[in-house]
Amino acid sequence: MNWITNYVRPKINSMLGRREMPENLWIKDPSTGEMVFHKDLESNQFVIPSSGHHMRIKAKDRLRFFFDNGEYTTLEAPKVPVDPLKFRDEKKYIDRLKDYRTRTGMDDAIVNGIGTIEGLPIVATVQDFGFMGGSLGMGAGEAIIQGFEKAIELKRPMVLFAASGGARMQEGILSLMQLPRTTVAVEMLKEAGLPYIVVLTNPTTGGVTASYAMLGDIHIAEPGALIGFAGPRVIEQTIREKLPEGFQSADYLMEHGMVDMVVSRLELKSTIARLLKIMTKQPANSDALDGKKTEANGKAA
């Protein structure tokens, strides 16, 4: 019997009141391996201070950082049929939905917020990659349409933050139906004469790039975001060729005219506010709207 291990150490630990460390106390920078204190990272909007690497961010955090004083009103998620196809892969789709809803506290991958940025009233729709990869299904599609309808009702500009792996395969054709439905919602907003800005975050892929995510008046990408219809590995396997370095990255797409600007998350609010004031013919300082890439050019998580 090892009396030091079995008797002395437990006594010392008990006396000192040893506590378990929270698992997320430190976050590792995927680009450099640097360990960053979680609170420091959160205070910097989940952008690594030293490298500028943009970590993925929850929808509610995104809205909190984006709106003035972190104040906004959310729209209640619309009700849609749950698992009408009775789909099952490794587990039942309805059970998978329940797991994600419990884990995230969200009904689906979309959160709509109403508030102001630099005093300008807007409606913002945020896609959360943490909910089934931000996949587009009936619930997400209906919520996106709800956001556009609310913007039209209130006569406010629309800002959408896209983050998705594409259509939700568990919903089959019902998921694919959301592509034309959301496209119609975009057209309704434009017919109402309201601005529509899309922020492409990491990753924005699949069916969303064939619909609402590529129909904005202005497209802004976060640094390092992967943006495209099919992923680079799928393309390489299909064409049997090596893709160019940085293919489908935010910088590459801006250089080739696919996005208008690459803007650090730390500057998104001020940049979008200036753009919207110009688009709505309000006085605005047009600095930093020359289409040049801003600082903090790290890769996205």
Q: Does 1 fall in a domain?
A: no
Residue 9 in domain: no
Cβ burial 216-255 (10 Å sphere, 16+ → b, else e): bbbbbbbbbbbbbbebbeeeeeeeeeeeeeeebbbbbbbe
Which domain, by its residues, includes 207? 56-279
In a domain, 234, yes or no: yes
Whether 163 is in a domain gets the answer yes
Whole-model pTM above 0.95?
Answer: no
Domain count, the chain: 1
Looking up residue 102, the CATH number of its domain turns out to be 3.90.226.10
CA angle (252 as vertex; 204, 214 as ends), nearest 5: 40
Single-letter residue type at 267: E
Q: Is 198 part of a structural domain of the chain? A: yes
| DSSP-assigned beta bridge partners for residue 115 | 72, 122
CA-CA-CA-CA dihedral for 204, 191, 146, 230, to nearest 10: -20
Amino acid at the residue 79: K
pLDDT in tens, the chain (301 residues): 565 556 556 666 665 555 554 556 888 888 888 898 889 899 999 999 989 999 999 999 999 999 999 999 999 999 999 999 999 999 999 999 999 999 999 999 999 999 999 999 999 999 999 999 999 999 999 999 999 999 999 999 999 999 999 999 999 999 999 999 999 999 999 999 999 999 999 999 999 999 999 999 999 999 999 999 998 888 999 999 999 988 999 999 999 999 999 999 999 999 999 999 999 998 755 554 554 444 444 445 5
Residue 104, domain member (yes or no) = yes
Q: Which residue has the tokens 């994600």?
A: 100
User: Does residue 19 lie within any of the structural domains?
Assistant: no
In a domain, 226, yes or no: yes
